[in-house]
Amino acid sequence: MYHEPVLKEEVIAHLQVKEGQKYIDATLGDGGHTLAILEKGGIVLGIDINDQSLERAIHRINSAGYGKSFFPCKGNFEHIDALAEDTGFNQVSGILMDLGYSSFQLDESDIGLSFLRDSPLDMRLNKDLGVTAADLVNSLSEKELTQLISNYSDEKFAKSFAHAIVLSRNLKKIQTTRQLADILKSASSPGYEHGRIHPATRTFQALRIVVNDELGNLERSLPRAARLLLPGGRMIVISFHSLEDRIVKMFAKEQERIRNGAQPWLKSVTTKPVEPTSTEVQSNARSRSAKMRVLERKVYL
């Protein structure tokens, strides 16, 4: 089973894919969006930081017969400009960033991203990254843990969760996702969020963000990506939590302020973020928090 691409129709419509033009998918994943671009005749550089994602996408795309117009590339999209330069994709008609994690990574891999699956508490998308989630929960002070959980997830129980983590690790090192999820569950109140989400949901989000430097990577990549766009080229970013969306929104605002002559450099194509329809949310629950923003490189006369 492959990851269900979120907002696929909307992505393809906004990218305005043209035959023979170059595109960058900076978050290849299982290659669902890339495949849709290839089917429209585009040529795609597919970047992913995770080896398993690359393997799965390469297999899928080659099996579909699009291997000739697809260029897979291992790397962090933080370095999108250098990766594009090295592969001849430094002037492209469109760039897509579908942030976060694929269903395979969350549900089936042993990276430890999800509390629904018992695995080592790692969370690194790439083993070259230094610090694991286990390193953080076993070494940060209670105050630092409270700040981490609260800053990156708005968890109301951040303080009591951090306290419970510290008490628990004093008895036994926290090494698995199940261990951490159980600690958080015991530290929460019975009516936590009216049962809508598991008590571990937000803390796991915070740890994933920090371990993979999600926000830093996004912030650094946006201006670098923008410079690769041909005039009229479009950049699409799909985010899944408000911290990411805020970065994209601020970047878009900043672009409106940058003047070159009388014109902004990139303009927002959509005034409000595009969200999935209720039909999409019904068939793919993971799409429910998606927000898509579209920016276009201005054409100067």
Cα four-point dihedral sign 281, 283, 287, 293:
negative
217, 78 Cβ separation under 8 angstroms? yes
Spatial separation of the C-alpha atoms in residues 19 and 40, rounded to whole Å: 6
Q: Does 207 bind ligand SAM (CB under 6 A)?
A: no
Among 10, 30, 81, 122, binds ligand SAM (CB under 6 A): 30
CB of 48 or CB of 296, closer to ligand SAM = 48
Q: Does 29 bind ligand SAM (CB under 6 A)?
A: yes
Among 14, 22, 33, 291, binds ligand SAM (CB under 6 A): 33
Q: Please check if 105 is assigned to a binding site.
A: yes
Among 125, 164, 243, 247, binds ligand SAM (CB under 6 A): 125
Min dist. Cβ of residue 29 to ligand SAM (A):
2
CB neighbour list of residue 146: distance below 8 Å, 6 or more residues apart: 158, 159, 161, 162
**Closest CB to ligand SAM belongs to which residue?**
29
Min dist. Cβ of residue 188 to ligand SAM (A):
28
Among 10, 12, 15, 50, binds ligand SAM (CB under 6 A): 50
Spatial separation of the C-alpha atoms in residues 301 and 280, rounded to whole Å: 40
CB of 153 or CB of 168, closer to ligand SAM = 153
Q: Does 251 bind ligand SAM (CB under 6 A)?
A: no
Among 7, 14, 69, 98, binds ligand SAM (CB under 6 A): 98
Q: Please check if 32 is assigned to a binding site.
A: yes
Binding stretches for ligand SAM (CB under 6 A): 3, 5, 27, 29-33, 47-50, 53, 76-78, 98, 100-102, 125, 217
